[in-house]
């Protein structure tokens, strides 16, 4: 299989864990992690604050740890105990053949796999909201080439400069899906952080013409960009669920922890995801302030 010719590659970041423990009420500190982009970070912070309000002790050193290739082994090894996971992407990391547009199916399949990982990992309830991979162009590009779907890109793929996530070449719902469903193997590719400000900036300034962003990325609305329809339905359902090591659940009040996280997840719909994301990445508000305000407004913790 021919692969992308890479023009630029973001540097890998080594993250060193430090002491960052807050909260009380439990002898066990829950080590929370997340992927590196703002939406995942703020959802992790929401879960962290909800757990603290319920009396658990929380270690935040793993929030923003890196891409799934980093956070998954960290969870399996016990470097972190808990992370918010996007069900479709998390399942595809292990077995892309099992992903679907069904949230329930993705959760069940992921749970089956995680039963045998890291001594056992439990998938809790997922959010009604979801955030899928989105392929986006500027409006003038869409108008120039009459683009509305990903299929429309096939014939002109090498006339455009592409920005794809750093894990795209090895992510089965990115490079492999684009090639198998659409015949997309573009020659001009820059690899950038998933759903990142550098990716959005590159599309804004014309360094790239097609950007892989999150469907909830606020820049899409702010800049009037066009999200191309995934007409071959290559992207799976991407609801978010906390996934938690079983050895942690054995050390804490499991029922209380699960209820706390499930109550939070139940209130995170897609507009909430997009708004939390916007407040952090566009409005540049502090992560903890955004999480605290939302939890209070949702009645999940006291003001």
**Number of neighbours of residue 143 by Cβ within 10 angstroms:** 11
**CA–CA separation, 192 and 12 (whole Å):** 11
The sign of the CA dihedral 216, 220, 101, 112 is negative
Among 128, 186, 134, smallest CA distance to 155 is for 186
pLDDT at 11 over 90: no
- At 174, list the tokens: 């990115």
Predicted pLDDT at 294: 98
**CA–CA separation, 21 and 240 (whole Å):** 24
**CA–CA separation, 89 and 168 (whole Å):** 12
CATH number belonging to domain 133-227: 3.40.190.120
Q: Which band of pLDDT confidence, cut at 50, 70 and 90, is reported for residue 39?
A: very high
When the pLDDT of each residue in the chain is averaged and rounded to a whole number, the result is 91
Predicted pLDDT at 10: 38
Asked if 122 contacts 148 with a C-beta cutoff of 8 angstroms, the reply is no
Among 74, 98, 35, 66, smallest CA distance to 240 is for 35
Domain range summary for the chain, segments of one domain joined by +: 21-129+238-297, 133-227
Q: Which band of pLDDT confidence, cut at 50, 70 and 90, is reported for residue 302?
A: confident
User: Are 21-129+238-297 and 133-227 the same fold in CATH?
Assistant: yes
Residues in the chain: 303
Q: Which band of pLDDT confidence, cut at 50, 70 and 90, is reported for residue 21?
A: very low
CATH 3.40.190.10 is the classification of domain 21-129+238-297: yes
């Amino acid at each position: 299989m021919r692969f992308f010719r890479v023009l630029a590659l973001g540097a890998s970041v080594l993250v060193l864990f430090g002491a960052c423990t807050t909260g009380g009420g439990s002898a066990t500190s829950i080590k929370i992690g997340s992927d590196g982009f703002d939406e995942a970070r703020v959802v992790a912070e929401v879960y962290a604050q909800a757990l603290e309000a319920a009396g658990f002790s929380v270690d935040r050193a793993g929030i923003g740890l890196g891409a799934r290739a980093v956070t998954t082994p960290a969870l399996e090894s016990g470097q972190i105990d808990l992370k918010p996971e996007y069900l479709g992407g998390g399942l595809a990391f292990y077995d892309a053949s099992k992903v679907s547009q069904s949230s329930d199916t993705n959760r069940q399949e992921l749970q089956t796999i995680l039963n045998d990982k890291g001594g056992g990992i439990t998938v809790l309830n997922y959010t009604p909201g979801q955030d899928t991979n989105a392929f986006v162009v500027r409006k003038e590009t869409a108008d120039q080439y009459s683009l509305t779907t990903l299929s429309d890109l096939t014939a002109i793929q090498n006339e455009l400069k592409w920005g794809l996530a750093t894990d795209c070449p090895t992510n089965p719902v990115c490079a492999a899906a684009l090639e198998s469903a659409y015949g997309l193997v573009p020659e001009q590719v820059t690899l950038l952080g998933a759903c990142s400000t550098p990716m959005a900036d590159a599309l804004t300034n014309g360094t790239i013409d097609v950007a892989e962003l999150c469907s909830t990325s606020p820049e899409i609305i702010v800049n009037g960009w066009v999200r191309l329809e995934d007409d071959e339905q290559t992207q799976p359902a991407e609801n978010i669920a906390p996934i938690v090591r079983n050895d942690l659940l054995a050390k804490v009040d499991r029922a209380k922890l699960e209820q706390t996280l499930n109550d939070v997840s139940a209130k995170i719909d897609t507009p909430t995801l997009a708004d939390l994301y916007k407040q952090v990445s566009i409005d540049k508000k502090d992560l903890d302030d955004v999480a605290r305000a939302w939890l209070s407004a949702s009645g999940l913790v006291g003001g």
